Amino acid sequence: MAYTNAVLDDAQLQAGLRGINPKFGDYCIRAAGEVWGLPLLSQKLKALITIVLDVVHQDQVGPGNPFGAHVNMALQQGANRDEIEEVLLFACAYAGFNKAAGAFGALNDLLGPSPYPADYRLDFSEAKLQESRLQEYVAEVGDSEYSHLFYRIAREVWGLPLLPTQDKAFLAIAIDIASQTQSSGEVDPFAVHVKIAANQGVTKEAIAELIQFCGVYAGFSKTVAFFVKLKALAAQGLI
């Protein structure tokens, strides 16, 4: 069942949060309910963002871990297993294959083994890759073995066919926040990902909402610098 607020409309989820600890449940329901109620990002996208944050934080293990709840929320909001796996594949490139591996294992525990054969090769959309303008942005790093490797690995996930390019940009920004990959140097991953989002018509207000959402799931100490940087990018006319 799709909700207009995937936290405040789901009594079973709320009961689970209160079951972890009543104090935590009360606080979490009110805080999470507020950001899930923000109007610009869809409930489905927010659910996928929580999953990619779980990968960065390795939140798929231990008692009370939220990964299963976030997968269930994504499914309730209309995502399918292939889309969730595309999120995990995207996280391979930007959060690390070692972190994504455990999330794939946890997904198998929740949904059963993958239905694909062991020799499956990833689908790829050249049009999706071109939408991202990834090669242009990687060129800013300079011509090096690093930039060539980065492009070969990252092009595969930007070329995955299911998720819109703007949603992948949101995932990349969420990973930037969780990993604290903002730089004052010549190449700033956060600024690049904001540009990719802007190229797809994403507004400053939508990215600000993403940063607020990540405040609850990654911590406000991690998000404040990104909120300030977003204002600076807007002042430069980059979004």
Tokens 């209160």 appear where?
18
Rounded Cα distance, 207 and 199, in Å: 13
Please write down the HEC assignment for all residues of the chain.
CCCCCCCCCCHHHHHHHHHHCHHHHHHHHHHHHHHHCCCCCCHHHHHHHHHHHHHHHCCCCCCCCCHHHHHHHHHHCCCCHHHHHHHHHHHHHHHCHHHHHHHHHHHHHHHCCCCCCCCCCCCCCHHHHHHHCHHHHHHHHCCCHHHHHHHHHHHHHHCCCCCCHHHHHHHHHHHHHHHCCCCCCCCCHHHHHHHHHHHCCCCHHHHHHHHHHHHHHHCHHHHHHHHHHHHHHHHCCCC
pLDDT of residue 22: 98
Averaged over 131-143, what is the pLDDT?
92
What is residue 62's predicted lDDT score, i.e. its pLDDT?
77
Q: Structure pTM?
A: 0.95
Could you read off the pLDDT of 34-69 as tens digits, one per residue? 999 999 999 999 999 999 999 999 978 777 889 999
**Is the pLDDT reported for residue 187 higher than 60?**
yes
Asked whether the predicted pLDDT for residue 184 surpasses 60, the reply is: no
Give 142 or 167, the one with higher predicted confidence: 167
Dihedral sign, Cα of residue 195, residue 196, residue 202, residue 208: negative
Higher-pLDDT residue of 61, 203: 203
Give me the mean pLDDT over the 127-141 stretch: 94
Average pLDDT, integer, range 22-27: 98
Q: How far are the Cα atoms of 50, 102, 109, 202 from residue 165, in angstroms, in the given order?
A: 18, 25, 29, 11
Q: Are 48 and 171 in contact (CB under 8 A)?
A: yes
Mean pLDDT of the chain, nearest integer: 94
Identify the CATH number of the domain defined by range 38-116+123-235.
1.20.1290.10
Among 13-17, 30-34, 152-156, 187-191, which is the least confidently predicted range? 187-191
Tell me what pLDDT residue 64 has.
Answer: 80
pLDDT for 71: 97
Percentage of the chain modeled with pLDDT above 90: 89
**CA–CA distance, 146 with 153 (Å, rounded to integer):** 11
